[in-house]
Structure 1
Amino acid sequence: MTYREPARAAGPRVRSLVPAAGITIYGCGPDEAALVEEAVSRLGVTPTVTSAALSEATVELAAGNRCVSISHKTRITNDTLHALSEIGVQYLSTRSIGCNHLDVAYAEKLGISVGNVAYSPDSVADYTLMLMLMAIRNAKSLIRRTDAHDYRLSPTPGKELRDLTVGVIGTGRIGAAVIDRLWGFGGQKLAYDLRPRTSADYVPLDDLLRQSDIVTLHTPLTPETRRLLDQRRIEQMKPGAIVVNTGRGGLIDTEALLSALESGRLGGAALDVLEGEEGMFYADCRREPLENTNLARLQKLPNVLISPHTAYHTDHALRDAVENSLLNCLNFESWTNHG
């Protein structure tokens, strides 16, 4: 495949596939580049591809194109959406399930339709089970001690998943995949969702919180679910329970969670997402002061596992997200051209 480097000032590398087409792909990192190249070749499209995130400074890369594809890693401001509308962009596809990194209602007011993608739910479901198992086997403390050449057993034995009750909040594709995996371990499975659709035992949310040894979150982040686990609901949880979150950081009131963990009321947490992660996760912060004080407090706790929003990050899921984002754009073009 032939690439053309547009004449630009020094900055993020931009590749324009020849000939030009109506899609600009923003935020294409090394993990997606080969997948994009394979997908565009197979689908017969020739978009402009850039490693730069969508922002007011990079909007001009979409000039002449009606569709853009973006990553979930960067917050898209309303000023950026307005700038997109000014240059004629009519469709924005985010390579993620959630759309909480942009104001969808504002985009639609500007005449920009927004689409998300489906990708392999197994990526997040597998990772969720891994976090559960690591949490109940005290893996963080174990690995830290072993790295320091302390090979003694933990003074507190781990637990077996078959002896525990797991409560799954949200049973869409990912939550349902988590429940499918839990059947292989035994134990009781509780679920809460407005639309029951799995074989788990569905109960009211308050009952799930009171009965579950592990609570795992798989609901979208919306105004209704923001801080779903607030102080009141965290206080309802079973003493010693563990919280797992591979959904969105905003589903949990982090201050309330910290209070329950530091007091010993909760037994631990495994968090792949965090309130205020934007601008920090996906960046190398080793030489910078950690400004997120809640993250610093969480990382000091021996019973808290933190990872940087990586549950989705498998080759299969990335391939799904890239291809489905391109298909979204192609479907939009087809619909508008023939509608």
Structure 2
Amino acid sequence: MPPPANTARNVGINDVAARAGVSPGTVSNVLNRPERVAEATRLRVEEAIRELDYVRNSSGRSLRAGRSDSVGLLVLDVTNPFFTMVAQGVEDQAAEAGRTVMLLNSSEDPERQRRSLRLLAEQRAAGAVVMPVDDDVTDLLWLRERGIPWVVLDRGDVGADVGSSVYVDNHAGGLAAGRHLISLGHERITFLSGPLSLEQCRVRLAGLRAALDENGFDSENGVRVIETGSLTAASGDKAAEEVLAGGPRRRPQAVFCANDQLALGLLKGLGERGLGAPADLSVVGYDDIDVAALVHPGLTTVAQPKYEIGRAAMRLLAAELDDPGGHRYERLLFEPRLVVRGSTAAYREP
């Protein structure tokens, strides 16, 4: 009985060599060092590769080199459209450098972050772009000790002596949101936050308080902070009851949410209780994800250059991978901008 014909899944380098009439070493040179092979021979090997639909096995090559061509991208919440746009920026920049991206999700969980970084080490990742879940950089330092460089994204407090970082001025974003609400006559403002262990939430709150301070308001007592367990729409929906606690006379005049997901969930929760923005209270989000412009009324929000910061983070990582000895850590700061839509309006006494 004749042996089965080769298929794409079991074609090896020896099959290509036999079809092209060359040695396996010549095929290897065509794949890895084509400049060493005469043009006529290279073209013959490439034709054999196409005819046999040969797919190279990069895992063995990666292990021999000690590193793969892949980089890791660890995000806080893979379901959040903000991180989807960041990931697209990272991936597009990586593709231009001939690298692939492994997407990992920490779900804002320190232990899951630790496991993900260890997985990158086991997979011999070339490097990583990481959005940390808290201020502890121990896991990141552990990763660098194993020869895997990284760039921190969306965190501004990582020192330049530790690693490179790309972030958006969250204080300026909170300040812009606060100034907007104050200009509309709102004085009683609630900050609906995710976990305050996240630097982004803390700094956006600080920016809001700075806006109250510069306008002569009591920033400590003038802002009520509601901390949720996650930056999700479900958390915003659930928080609506706490936002409205105390009745119409005590509810806030406006709510500044730490991200758009919380804001959209809050709008849903308000609607289920017969209330809405801006008729009953103004609502501001943060990130400017696509759906923020599609809901009615449109969500006023602080826009971040999501795609651009993803590309920038990958550029910094690629620079370190290409020149590990001469590379210097960098910190890149982007500016947010306020996008005013229909969810905010001038305050009116109920």
TM-score (ref. length: structure 1)? 0.39
Structure number with higher helix proportion:
2
TM-score (ref. length: structure 2)? 0.38
